[in-house]
Amino acid sequence: MTNNVPSVTWNSVASSADGTKIVAASETGLIYTTTNAGTLWVSNDVPMAYWTSVASSADGTKLIALAVTNLVYTSTNSGTTWTSNSVPINIAQWLLTASSADGTRLIVVGDAGSVCSSTNSGASWNAITNLPLASWQAVASSADGNKLAIDGLTNVIYTSSDGGSTWNSNGVSGVTNWQGIASSADGSRLFATAHNNPFYELCVSTNSGVTWTPDTNAPMSLLYGITSSADGNKLFLFPGDLYASTIIISFAGGMFTSFSTPSPKLEVLPVGSSLNVSWLIPSTNLVLQQSPDLISWSSVTDAPALNLTNLNNELSLAPTNSSGFFRLMSQ
C-alpha cells in the first residue's frame, strides 16, 4: 500500500489501540500523524528537531513527543496542535517515553539518567530522583500508568507499582546490558531483552518484575527492541540496531514473533442489580459464555465495550438465576 508519507529515517512510532491513529517522528525534524490507519498523513506544526520518541493514548488523541534538544511536546487532539511542556530537568536529550492508556500519566527518560513523570498529560512534571543515574535503554508502562519498568546498561531492572514514587530492583544473575522492555496492559507480565555478550537474552516476569526467568525458546540473535500485545501473549522481537530502543534503524535477521494461547482472568462484580463482567482484551478472539449449572453453556450475545483506561472488555449483565457461571471460549 502506498500513501503520502515521506521517505525519511523514522525514529519512533506509536498507535492508538484500534490502529487507526498513528504518530511517527523522524530525525529530519518532522512529526507526521494519520487518523485513517495510514491512508493519509499530515505533517504537524512542531519545531524542526531531532525527534527521538513518541507515545500515544489508547484512543489516539493524547500524544507526547521528545527531541534531543531538550524539547517535550504534547497534543490533546491527535497532533493537530502541540504544546511545549516545561520539564524541570534541563538536559540536552530526551530519549524515551511511555504513556498510560488514557494519556494522563507520562514518563520521560533522558541522557545522564534523568527521569521525570507527569500525572496530568504533561501540564506539569516531577523529577524522579530515587533511581540511580544510568544509561537507560527502554521504559514501559501498564495501562493505568501505575506499574512502570525501566532497564538499561546495568545488571538490574527497576520496577514501580505506584507510578514511580518508589522503585524495586531485580534482574537475572549474570545478565547485563538490558536493551528493551515491554509490559502487558495490567503490568503483571514483563519482557526484557539483553545484549549479554556473547549471548542474547529474553527474560520474562509474570509477577510485575519481582522475579525474572530466561526464555530458553527465544532466538539466539541480537535482540534489542520488544513490544507486546495487551495481554502479553503475543510478542514481537526486533533484532538489529535501534535508536533509543523505540524504532528499528537496521535489521539483522528480520523480526521474530511469539504467540501463546491467552487465558484472561474474568472478573465478575455486582454493581447495583447488575453484574459487571470484565477481562483484559485478549490477543485472539474469545467469546463470553454463561451457564446456570456448568453443564449447558450459551454465548452472551451482548457485545462488550472496550474501556480505554485499562484496556478491559466490560459488559453489564442482569442476573437470571440465583447462581451462574461464566467462561471465555475461543471462537
Task: Supply the pLDDT for residue 211.
Answer: 94
- For the residues 204-212, what does the mean pLDDT come to? 95
Angstrom CA distances, 140 to 12, 47, 77, 212, 311, stand at: 14, 26, 23, 16, 16
Task: Supply the pLDDT for residue 60.
Answer: 95
Nearest to 273 by CA among 319, 305, 321: 319
Q: CATH 2.130.10.10: which residues of the chain?
A: 10-259
How sure is the predictor about 130, in pLDDT bands with cuts at 50, 70 and 90? very high
Angstrom CA distances, 194 to 143, 226, 298, stand at: 24, 11, 46
pLDDT in tens, 222-260: 666 788 889 988 888 766 544 333 333 333 445 567 788
Task: Supply the pLDDT for residue 111.
Answer: 83
- Classify residue 260 by burial, with Cβ atoms within 10 Å: 0-12, 13-18, 19+: exposed
Task: Supply the pLDDT for residue 250.
Answer: 39
Q: Residue 139 and residue 154: Cα distance in Å, rounded?
A: 14
Cell of 87: 520539564
- Classify residue 51 by burial, with Cβ atoms within 10 Å: 0-12, 13-18, 19+: buried
- Direct distance between the N- and C-terminal alpha carbons of the chain, in angstroms, rounded to an integer: 30
pLDDT in tens, 68-95: 878 899 999 999 999 988 787 767 688 9
Angstrom CA distances, 7 to 4, 28, 30, 245, 325, stand at: 9, 11, 12, 21, 54
How sure is the predictor about 45, in pLDDT bands with cuts at 50, 70 and 90? confident
Nearest to 242 by CA among 150, 179, 183, 181: 179
Cell of 193: 531483552
Residues 6+ apart with CB under 8 A from 16: 22, 56, 57, 58, 59, 60
205 phi and psi angles, rounded to 5 deg: -125, 135
How sure is the predictor about 59, in pLDDT bands with cuts at 50, 70 and 90? very high
Task: Supply the pLDDT for residue 224.
Answer: 64
- For the residues 289-303, what does the mean pLDDT come to? 92
Cell of 73: 511536546
- For the residues 271-285, what does the mean pLDDT come to? 88
Q: Residue 46 and residue 249: Cα distance in Å, rounded?
A: 23
Task: Return the number of other C-beta atoms located less than 10 Å from residue 113's C-beta.
Answer: 15
Better-predicted residue by pLDDT, 319 or 185: 185
Better-predicted residue by pLDDT, 46 or 298: 298
Least confident of 218-222, 305-309, 322-326: 218-222
Pairing state between β 157-160 and 241-243: unpaired
Better-predicted residue by pLDDT, 224 or 134: 134
Beta-bridge partner residues of 225: 238
CATH number assigned to the domain covering 10-259: 2.130.10.10
